[in-house]
Structure 1
Amino acid sequence: MITTTNLVRRYGDFTAVDDVTFTAEPGRVTGFLGPNGAGKSTTMRILTGLTPATSGTAHVLGKPFASLTNPGRHVGVLLDASAQHGGRTGREVLALGALTMGLPSRRVGRMLDVVGLSRRASTRRVRNYSLGMRQRLGLAHALLGDPEVLILDEPANGLDPAGIRWMRDLLGRFAAEGGTVLLSSHLLNEIERIADDILVIGRGKIVAGGKTEDLLRPSGTFVHSIDDERFEQALTKEGLAPVHEDQGLRVEADPARSRALDAGVATARRLGGPVGSGAHGHRGMASAAP
């Protein structure tokens, strides 16, 4: 599990992370979504002990990262695939990691197989790797210690479509086995295909959060009446612009306005609005006046 509470990081007058509170649960992939510069990487650097927080707390498995004994055995981290030592081979990078964590050398070969780096590729210098190969090596290193938590910053960068599908499957299996995954991206279509939960961050603040299916539901009110044509005319007179959908109309209005137009609204339940909109959708069944 990953938890942050009222997390703040300031650089002079600039606030990079502003009162960020969230939880990433075991057994789920949590997508950390936001544009470049929104505060995703800074939050992850605080989580992994690389950047101190100005205030607030950040815990991984119930404690600060720096308090974990042999942290690589508990938390796998990939923040910058290009930061690996260019003069070493891929196998050497993993071998040093295994030695540092006290792991058997056979774990290196196992992780190379898991991420799809061939024997030939593993003997090449990292400086000659493509970005996609560096991402695979970084994931191999993050998984090396058989951790319970993965913290990954833009891990799909540089991967081809087949590599992205492979990564989705890999992280899905990791979460299905009880692991916690926090994965950042600035691309919604990437996050929505892999994440069980989404956190949306903008200008250092969490602006939305919840289950993926709830956040990505369309907004507005869906209404179905016994006389849609007449109901559409009533909505139009109110300055609204209903859209025809299967078996009804969708309109950007709250149920209260729908009730004012037609007293026969029977039910209404809250649904999630689109990510980042701050809107909420509602679905109601309306009965138009005869």
Structure 2
Amino acid sequence: MISVQNLTKRYGAYTAVDDVSFNVRPGAVTGFLGPNGAGKSTCMRMMCSLTPPTSGTATVLDRPYSSLPNPGRHVGVLLDASAQHAGRTGREILTLGAMVMGIDRSRVDEMLDLVGLSESEATRRVRNYSLGMRQRLGIAHALLGDPQVLILDEPANGLDPAGIRWMRGLLRGYADEGGTVLLSSHLLHEVEVVADELVVIGRGRIVAQGTKAELMAATGTTVRTTDDAAFAGLLEGAGLEVKAASTGLTVQAEPQQIGELAARHQVVLIELRTAGSAGLEDMFLELTADDAREEVAA
């Protein structure tokens, strides 16, 4: 389990992380989402005792990371896949990790096989690795000590679609066996498929958190008709909150309520469903709009 309580980090007058609190439970994948620069990496560095907090606490398995004996046996960490020693081979990096943690070197072969690095790739210098290969090596190193907890910062960067799908399956299986996973990303869809719970951060503050089901339910219902403008007026007249979506309308009501209203007024429905992924993405973009670096082209 990971517990973050009132975590704050200031650099002079700039507040990178502002009073952040959340828990990551065993047996679940928690997606830690936010735009670039929102404070995700700073939070994770504080969890791993690499950056001292200005105030607040972060514990892993009920104690600060720095006080864990042989931490690699308890917590697997991948914060920057490019930070590996460029002059060593992948096998050498994992072998050194096994020696430091005091684990059998046969585990190195197991991890290389698990992440799909061939023998020829394992004996190649890391400077000659692609970013995707470095990510696979980093995940192998994080899993080397058979930890109970994984803390992964943007682990899908550089992976191709097949690699991303592989990573999701790996993390899903790890959590299903009781492991604790915190997975950060600035891309919602990257973690939405695998995450059980979501924590959304913007400008260093938590802007939303909960189970994926709870957050998706809060996004409302998508409806399309033969005349969306007219139906929006009927919905608003019934006291419902209505927003125009990329296609159709998003309504803060249950599909049954909307369907019954349409039937009473003989409105032809083309589509009626919970907003789901599209609604969750709209919510994410709206909550983090002030912190996004990219602007929509006019």
TM-score interval for Structure 1 and Structure 2 normalised by the shorter chain = 0.7 to 0.9
Post-superposition Cα deviations, 1:35-61, rounded to whole Å, max 9, x if no partner, equal: 000000000000001000000000000
Post-superposition Cα deviations, 1:137-161, rounded to whole Å, max 9, x if no partner, equal: 0000000000000000000000011
Match for 2:42: what amino acid? T
Match for 1:197: what amino acid? E
Matched, 1:197 2:188: no
Once residues 241 and 8 of structure 1 are traced to their aligned partners in structure 2, the CA distance between those partners, rounded to angstroms, is 37
**SS of the residue 1:151 aligns to:** strand
Match for 1:216: what amino acid? M
**Does the 8 Å contact 2:154/2:183 carry over to 1?**
yes
Once residues 12 and 242 of structure 1 are traced to their aligned partners in structure 2, the CA distance between those partners, rounded to angstroms, is 41
Gapped runs of 5+ residues in structure 2?
Answer: 224-229, 262-274, 288-298
Task: Specify the alignment match of 1:41 in structure 2.
Answer: 41
Higher helix share: 2
Which runs of structure 2 are paired with 1:218-233 in the superposition (5 Å)? 219-220=219-220
Matched, 1:135 2:135: yes
Once residues 222 and 125 of structure 2 are traced to their aligned partners in structure 1, the CA distance between those partners, rounded to angstroms, is 58
Q: Return closer, same or farther for 1:5/1:238 CA change in 2, 3 Å cut-off.
A: same
**Does the 8 Å contact 1:220/1:250 carry over to 2?**
no
Q: Return closer, same or farther for 1:242/1:167 CA change in 2, 3 Å cut-off.
A: closer
- CA positional deviation for 1:164: 0.5
- CA positional deviation for 1:214: 2.0
Which 4+ stretches in 1 moved above 2 angstroms? 216-223, 230-243, 249-255, 271-278
Q: Return closer, same or farther for 1:235/1:182 CA change in 2, 3 Å cut-off.
A: closer
Task: Specify the alignment match of 1:13 in structure 2.
Answer: 13
**SS of the residue 1:216 aligns to:** helix
- CA positional deviation for 1:236: 6.0
Query: Who wins on radius of gyration, i.e. which is larger?
Result: 1
Q: Return closer, same or farther for 1:231/1:75 CA change in 2, 3 Å cut-off.
A: closer
Task: Specify the alignment match of 1:54 in structure 2.
Answer: 54
Match for 2:51: what amino acid? T
**SS of the residue 2:92 aligns to:** helix
Once residues 156 and 193 of structure 1 are traced to their aligned partners in structure 2, the CA distance between those partners, rounded to angstroms, is 13
Post-superposition Cα deviations, 1:107-154, rounded to whole Å, max 9, x if no partner, equal: 111110010000110000000000000000000000000000000000
Which runs of structure 2 are paired with 1:1-290 in the superposition (5 Å)? 1-217=1-217, 219-220=219-220, 234-235=234-235, 252=251, 274=280, 275-276=283-284, 277=286
Once residues 17 and 242 of structure 1 are traced to their aligned partners in structure 2, the CA distance between those partners, rounded to angstroms, is 32
Match for 1:41: what amino acid? S
- CA positional deviation for 1:194: 1.2
Q: Return closer, same or farther for 1:175/1:241 CA change in 2, 3 Å cut-off.
A: closer
Once residues 105 and 17 of structure 2 are traced to their aligned partners in structure 1, the CA distance between those partners, rounded to angstroms, is 39
Once residues 138 and 251 of structure 1 are traced to their aligned partners in structure 2, the CA distance between those partners, rounded to angstroms, is 41
Percent identity of paired positions between Structure 1 and Structure 2:
64
Q: Return closer, same or farther for 1:251/1:58 CA change in 2, 3 Å cut-off.
A: closer
Match for 2:98: what amino acid? A
Match for 1:162: what amino acid? A
- CA positional deviation for 1:212: 1.0
Post-superposition Cα deviations, 1:79-130, rounded to whole Å, max 9, x if no partner, equal: 0000000000000000000000001111111110010000110000000000
Once residues 53 and 236 of structure 1 are traced to their aligned partners in structure 2, the CA distance between those partners, rounded to angstroms, is 47
Once residues 236 and 91 of structure 1 are traced to their aligned partners in structure 2, the CA distance between those partners, rounded to angstroms, is 63
Q: Return closer, same or farther for 1:231/1:141 CA change in 2, 3 Å cut-off.
A: closer
Once residues 186 and 105 of structure 1 are traced to their aligned partners in structure 2, the CA distance between those partners, rounded to angstroms, is 35
Match for 1:65: what amino acid? Y
- CA positional deviation for 1:221: 7.0
Once residues 169 and 50 of structure 2 are traced to their aligned partners in structure 1, the CA distance between those partners, rounded to angstroms, is 29
Task: Specify the alignment match of 1:265 in structure 2.
Answer: none
Q: Greater CA deviation, 206-215 or 230-239? A: 230-239
**SS of the residue 2:111 aligns to:** helix
Normalised TM-score (structure 1): 0.81
**Does the 8 Å contact 1:32/1:185 carry over to 2?**
yes
